[in-house]
Amino acid sequence: MRFIDEARIQVRSGKGGDGASSFRREKYVPFGGPDGGDGGRGGDVVFVADPGRNTLSELRGKSLWKAQNGANGLGKRMYGRGGQDVEIRVPVGTRIFDAETGEVICDITEPESRVVVAEGGRGGLGNVHFKSSTNRTPRKSTPGKPGEERWLKLELMLMADVGLLGFPNAGKSTFISRVSAARPKVADYPFTTLVPSLGVVDMGLDGSFVVADIPGLIEGAADGAGLGHRFLKHVQRTRVLLHLLSLGSDELLPPEERYRAIRGELGRYDAELTTRPEIIALTKTDLVDEDALEEARIAVAQAAGGATVFAVSSVRGDGLRPLLGLLWQHVQEQEPS
- Tens of pLDDT, residue by residue over 110-157, are 889 999 999 999 999 999 999 988 898 899 999 999 999 999 999 886
Amino acid in position 89: R
Same domain for 188 and 148, yes or no, is no
Same domain for 285 and 170, yes or no, is yes
Quick one: pLDDT at residue 192?
42
Among residues 116, 136, 156, the one where a domain terminates is 156
Domain that holds residue 296: 160-333
Quick one: pLDDT at residue 27?
75
What b/e string do you get for 192-204 counting C-beta neighbours within 10 Å, with b at 16 or more?
bbebbbbbbbeee
What b/e string do you get for 121-146 counting C-beta neighbours within 10 Å, with b at 16 or more?
bbbbbbbbbbeeeeeeebeebbbbbb
Quick one: pLDDT at residue 62?
87
Same domain for 215 and 294, yes or no, is yes
Q: State how far the Cα of 313 lies from the Cα of 212, in Å rounded to an integer.
A: 19
CB atoms within 10 A of CB 186: 15
Same domain for 7 and 101, yes or no, is yes
Quick one: pLDDT at residue 220?
45
Among residues 105, 126, 156, the one where a domain terminates is 156
Sheet holding 278-283, edge to edge: 197-202, 208-213, 160-165, 238-246, 278-283, 309-311
Sheet holding 64-66, edge to edge: 64-66, 6-12, 149-156, 94-98, 104-107
- Would you call 329 helix, strand, or coil by DSSP? helix
- Alpha-carbon separation of residue 276 from 101, 128, 237, 267, 271 (angstroms): 33, 66, 11, 11, 10
Same domain for 2 and 57, yes or no, is yes
Same domain for 225 and 150, yes or no, is no
Please report, for the domain that includes residue 266, its CATH number.
Answer: 3.40.50.300
Quick one: pLDDT at residue 283?
92
Quick one: pLDDT at residue 267?
84
Inter-residue contact 62 to 7 (CB < 8 Å):
no
Parts of the chain with a pLDDT under 50:
1-4, 184-194, 218-229, 337
Same domain for 317 and 197, yes or no, is yes
Same domain for 238 and 196, yes or no, is yes
Same domain for 221 and 147, yes or no, is no
- What is the domain count for the chain? 2
Amino acid in position 137: T
Among residues 122, 156, 190, the one where a domain terminates is 156
Q: CA nearest 235: which of 181, 205, 271, 192?
A: 271
CB atoms within 10 A of CB 332: 12
Same domain for 199 and 67, yes or no, is no
Please report, for the domain that includes residue 20, its CATH number.
Answer: 2.70.210.12
pTM given for the model? 0.56
CB atoms within 10 A of CB 90: 23
Q: State how far the Cα of 108 lies from the Cα of 89, in Å rounded to an integer.
A: 11
Same domain for 91 and 118, yes or no, is yes
Angle between helix 228-235 and helix 255-269 axes, rounded to 10 deg: 80
Quick one: pLDDT at residue 297?
94
Same domain for 219 and 325, yes or no, is yes
| DSSP codes, 186-214 | --SSS----S-EEEEEE-GGG-EEEEEEP
- Alpha carbon of residue 46 to chain centroid: 17
